[in-house]
Structure 1
Amino acid sequence: MELVNNLSRRRFVCALGASTLAVGPLEAKAGVAAPRALRFDNLHTGEKLAVEYFHGQRYDPAALAAINHVLRDFRTGDVGDIAPELLDLLHALVTLTGSERALQVISGYRSPATNATLVERSSGVAAGSLHMRGQAIDIRLADVALPALRKAALGMRAGGVGYYPASNFVHVDCGRVRAW
């Protein structure tokens, strides 16, 4: 899939709210946004989750809890709160790429203990990683080439984007815009 080189802010907003903008007149008057759903495949635990996490005008607490569980630290079992902003970023990214497959999760939430261990082992792990705050995820999509996924994430200018072709994943987060 070929993506536009420079995704304008307007196109990003449209991708983020594509389903929101496609509501009928009654829903628009009521301020009801279209539902947002994601599918996850945790490659370390084998767990799969398809969930509608936002509907009406709110995030679904039960759906968020299910997402927190499937994206937990697979090394320790610790569960952290995944930021809804990260979920919305993922929803926009899936919409933008046109993917029809689940997000393959390499790493979601990371406990401080796990992060400290990884920092000791690798210079490529940030001591203050946004994974520990539920604001970062390492992913790939089976039906989107890794360079195209990276390009789409960079074009969104919605947070940090790390590219790890040797490990076959892209890091995205809802922190400040930066790339490595």
Structure 2
Amino acid sequence: MTMTNGSGMTRRGLLGAFAATALIAAPTYSNAFGFLRGAGDIRRIRMHSGRTGESIDTIYWIEGKYIPEAMAEINHFMRDWRSGARIEIDARTIDIMAAAHRMMDVTEPYLMLSGYRSPQTNAMLRSRSRGVAKTSLHMHGKAADLRLKSRSVGQMAKAAEACASGGVGRYSRSNFVHMDCGPVRSWGG
């Protein structure tokens, strides 16, 4: 799909121009939103799904505004891969993920293990594991379970906790970190 912004420039052309721009940020802010404000006029998220084989590398925010087309791509990417169901992913969760990624100074995309979960998928997972919450924020598009090859669970969790903007769960035995935009809290080891 090619979209233009009224000036004749396509969305892809605009994003390509911004993607070539170096991002500079000072990790002195106390939350994800402040940290990303220090990133200049763009926000970017990079993820891969081993479940679907899909990847996303998109700038989703420019000069104070979320890009609807990029947010729709993220919503599709973070869908419940088991059922294909999707909802609108809370932009605050994406901001936390993006800020933590920037703090870790990596170019490797996140491996997304779980984004949105339908209530049916959540119930099925809950029946198999006591680590799945009955009222999981995954069911509301407010959480993601992520992994990086180049960073430990501890390093990822510390970056997410530095955002002070939501929940951070350490799942060291399963090698992933849960990030959400719910109340600020942390758990796991």
What range is the shorter-chain TM-score in?
A: 0.7 to 0.9
Aligned structure 1 segments of 4 or more residues deviating by more than 3 angstroms: 7-14
CA distance in 1, matches of 2:149, 2:164: 23
1:77 counterpart residue number: 84
User: Residue 93 of structure 1 corresponds to which residue in structure 2?
Assistant: 100
Count of residues in Structure 1 that have an aligned counterpart in Structure 2: 161
* Whole-Å separation in 2 of the counterparts to 1:52 and 1:11: 20
Query: What is the percentage of aligned positions where both structures have the same residue?
Result: 40
More helix by share: 1
Structure 2: where are the runs of 5+ without partners?
1-26
SS in 2 for 1:147: helix
Distance in 1 (alpha carbons) for counterparts of 2:34 and 2:64: 18
Measured after TM superposition, the shift of residue 15 of structure 1 is 2.3
CA distance in structure 2 between the aligned counterparts of 1:45 and 1:151, rounded to whole angstroms: 28
Contact 2:92 2:181 in 1 (8 A): yes
SS in 2 for 1:74: coil
SS at match of 1:148: helix
- Provide the C-alpha distance between the structure 2 equivalents of 1:35 and 1:155, rounded to a whole number of angstroms: 20
- Tell me the distance in 1 between the aligned counterparts of 2:49 and 2:124: 21
Q: Does residue 142 in structure 1 map to residue 149 in structure 2?
A: yes
Match of 2:36 in 1: 16
Normalization by structure 1: what TM-score?
0.83
Q: Which AA in structure 2 matches 1:36? A: R
Q: CA deviation at 1:56?
A: 2.6
Letter of the 1:60 counterpart: I
Contact 2:35 2:163 (C-alpha < 8 Å) held by counterparts: no
Give TM-score, length-normalised by structure 2.
Answer: 0.79
Residue aligning to 1:65? 72
1:170–1:9 Cα change, 3 Å:
same
Q: Which moved more, 1:40-49 or 1:137-146?
A: 137-146
Partners of 1:134 and 1:37 in 2: CA distance = 18
Alpha-carbon separation, structure 2, partners of 1:153 and 1:117: 28
Which amino acid is the alignment partner of residue 176 of structure 2?
A: F
**1:105-162 Cα distance to aligned partner (Å, 9 max, x none):** 0000100110111122221111110001110000012222221111222232211111
Amino acid of the structure 1 residue aligned with 2:127: E
* Matching residue of 2:54: 47
Residues of 1 paired with 2:39 and 2:182: CA distance?
Answer: 24
- Is 1:162 aligned to 2:169, yes or no? yes
Report the equivalent of 1:24.
none
Aligned equivalent of 2:133: 126
Structure 1 residues 10-69: Cα deviation after superposition (integer angstroms, max 9, x where no partner): 47555232213xxxxxxxxxxxxx011111101211101111111133111111111111
* DSSP 3-state at the match of 2:39: helix
Inter-partner Cα distance in structure 2 for 1:11 and 1:122: 31
